[in-house]
Chain A
């Protein structure tokens, strides 16, 4: 996306067509991401169905407050991302940059909290293969925790990619490599991805931390 606003890509006849194609492409891509995480959610739900007791005890080991904090961080980052898109459309270059950096910072905060949580999990012996022996005997608990690590890990990778993307974009907007409002579509597309990663967490959090939580 290094071209300036004036360049029309090869196959397109006009800019409206190009814009619509970009938007559609982004949504189809998000659809593929949804299917990939869908497979993971399916696995997690199946574990909950076949081992309700084990999954519940595993859930109780997870810290719903740290997870909740992370949810709030990501939701806030979605707000700042929305602001960035609005600012970009209005051509407010420095505000766009600022909001994008705020989103990235919130994303990094999420990753730090997640890292701390992993550290706590490690201390409890939840991490597969390392640390203390697994603390819960009930069948399915370890299975569920393994699912927790795979799904949060994959989500964290997605978020990290998002952070890199948004930081890079913030720089590009600041340096006018991506001029606003002319190429605000780039900010918009990055925003779509960011919101989507947030949406995955919107489902991951309750499925991992809240569902069937014991008293």
Chain B
């Protein structure tokens, strides 16, 4: 588990995605070297052969062929198109996590990473995950733009204030690896990093036990649901007419004024902070805003609770 010392010439491949990215860059490099070396060789050869004063043959050559000239550019471009498609399909996969992913919440702030596991375990700057399990991170920033970067997984994603972004991976080797902030975020940007610790399944369970969480995220969210008075209106026996939140997560919500929206994390977050933005059809826009009162971490707990209702 010691981080490598000395000169490394190739970074660890911690996932299938990492292997694929490495293949793209290696194959692409090979193609480009094949295309470029003749050009360099020709340059040097010409510079020597046709140096001023040399007796090389300089009689005018045969007529030009425009199509041949154009093909020099077009054929490499079409070949490069293959690499565009390959890299794009890998990029596409990054946006489509498996349905059974383990969800972990990430809150970034100057200059630390806070991770929250579904069971309520919290850690700072270190992320423990089980091996061979897809993990999906739901990330948000409390201040400026950060970027969560795992070199060994060849992935990074900017973490924005005001909006959730996502990142998913499936690490396939046990060990300890770097994680960094990759988007400049102020004084201690360079220190805003830590470790990704990949554990075998038993080790992960053991760690979850030791990490000492009293309550799961959803349970903590339920407590907050009462504390902030949400239950007063959204509760089952409430006299105020507000939408019942059971089963709402992941389902389409018809909106006042037409249209529907899928009730995902973004929608729930916006409904708490900006309740008048997208009002559910058939309800009055009476909910007050909780902007400035609920922290990003509490919001994630509330979302976990609402998720648990479905």
**Residues of A bordering B, CB below 8 Å:** 51, 53-54, 137-140
- Which residues of B sit under 8 angstroms from A137, Cβ to Cβ? 276, 289
**What 6 additional pairs, Cβ within 8 angstroms, besides A139-B273, A139-B276, A139-B277?**
A51-B277, A53-B276, A53-B277, A137-B276, A139-B274, A140-B277
Output the least CB separation between A184 and chain B (Å): 49
In whole angstroms, how far apart are the Cα atoms of A143 and B270 in the complex?
Answer: 16
Closest to B277 in A: A139
- Which residues of A sit under 8 angstroms from B273, Cβ to Cβ? 139
Output the least CB separation between B281 and chain A (Å): 14
Interface residues on B, range: under 10
Output the least CB separation between A204 and chain B (Å): 26
In whole angstroms, how far apart are the Cα atoms of A31 and B289 in the complex?
Answer: 44
Closest to A57 in B: B276
- Which residues of A sit under 8 angstroms from B276, Cβ to Cβ? 53, 137-139
- Which residues of B sit under 8 angstroms from A51, Cβ to Cβ? 277
Output the least CB separation between B247 and chain A (Å): 26
Closest to A137 in B: B276
- Which residues of A sit under 8 angstroms from B289, Cβ to Cβ? 137
**Residues of B bordering A, CB below 8 Å:** 257, 270, 273-274, 276-278, 289
- Which residues of A sit under 8 angstroms from B274, Cβ to Cβ? 138-139
In whole angstroms, how far apart are the Cα atoms of A54 and B257 in the complex?
Answer: 13
Output the least CB separation between A84 and chain B (Å): 49
Closest to B278 in A: A53
Output the least CB separation between A133 and chain B (Å): 13
Closest to A140 in B: B277
In whole angstroms, how far apart are the Cα atoms of A146 and B103 in the complex?
Answer: 38
Closest to A141 in B: B276
Closest to A136 in B: B276
In whole angstroms, how far apart are the Cα atoms of A170 and B277 in the complex?
Answer: 52
In whole angstroms, how far apart are the Cα atoms of A1 and B229 in the complex?
Answer: 71
Q: What are 16 A-B contacts defined by CB distance under 8 Å?
A: A51-B277, A53-B257, A53-B276, A53-B277, A53-B278, A54-B277, A137-B276, A137-B289, A138-B274, A138-B276, A138-B277, A139-B270, A139-B273, A139-B274, A139-B276, A139-B277
Output the least CB separation between B224 and chain A (Å): 22
Which 10 pairs from chain A and chain B are nearest by CB? A139-B274, A138-B276, A139-B277, A137-B276, A53-B277, A137-B289, A138-B277, A54-B277, A53-B276, A51-B277
In whole angstroms, how far apart are the Cα atoms of A139 and B267 in the complex?
Answer: 13
Of B257, B274, B278, most buried by chain A (CB within 10 Å of CB) is B274
Closest to B276 in A: A138
Closest to A51 in B: B277
Of B257, B270, B273, B276, most buried by chain A (CB within 10 Å of CB) is B276
Output the least CB separation between B299 and chain A (Å): 15
Output the least CB separation between A61 and chain B (Å): 15
In whole angstroms, how far apart are the Cα atoms of A139 and B275 in the complex?
Answer: 9
In whole angstroms, how far apart are the Cα atoms of A139 and B277 in the complex?
Answer: 6
Output the least CB separation between A2 and chain B (Å): 50
Closest to B288 in A: A137
Output the least CB separation between A146 and chain B (Å): 16
- Which residues of B sit under 8 angstroms from A140, Cβ to Cβ? 277
Output the least CB separation between A19 and chain B (Å): 40
Output the least CB separation between B279 and chain A (Å): 9
- Which residues of A sit under 8 angstroms from B257, Cβ to Cβ? 53
Output the least CB separation between A48 and chain B (Å): 14
In whole angstroms, how far apart are the Cα atoms of A82 and B210 in the complex?
Answer: 82
